Amino acid sequence: MVSIKNKIIGLLTKEDLTSAEIFKKLKDENLEIDKDKIWVSLNTLNHENKVVRITDKKPYLYKAITPLALLKQLYDIMENKMDFVKSAVNEDLELLKTIKEVIK
């Protein structure tokens, strides 16, 4: 059985969410969980440096800082905000394609 903390990290790897959004997504997966348990889990994950709050005011928005989440963020930056300085070679394009498959 997957722990609640691992489920939360899995959700936050895909997108940044508030605790209410996490609760709704876990409820949609038919998991019976108390809202307080989510907050406790998020607080624990924050102290373990596995998630971080990215807003200063409530509702707090959380983001995962696992290697896969960081890779996804890097890929999104490269895909949406950067252009190649010089022409990409096939190896570069294959690497980007492989990374995209891993993070999806």
pLDDT value for 1: 53
Q: Is 9 exposed, middle or buried (0-12, 13-18, 19+ CB in 10 A)?
A: buried
Q: How many helices (H) and strands (E) does the chain have?
A: 5, 3
Tell me the residue range of the domain where 8 lies: 4-64
pTM, entire model? 0.74
Q: What is the mean pLDDT of residues 17-30?
A: 92
Residues 17 and 34 both lie in one domain: yes
Q: For residue 92, is pLDDT > 90?
A: no
Give the whole-number percent of the chain exceeding pLDDT 70.
Answer: 98
Residues 72 and 89 both lie in one domain: yes
**DSSP 8-state assignment for residue 27:** H
What are the structure tokens assigned to 72, written together? 């996804």
Residues 45 and 72 both lie in one domain: no
Residues 59-80 pLDDT 10s: 999 999 988 888 888 888 888 8
What are the structure tokens assigned to 45, written together? 């994950």
Residues 42 and 76 both lie in one domain: no
Residues 19 and 50 both lie in one domain: yes
Residues 40 and 13 both lie in one domain: yes
Residues 16 and 59 both lie in one domain: yes
**The dihedral of CA 65, 10, 17, 101: what is its sign?**
positive
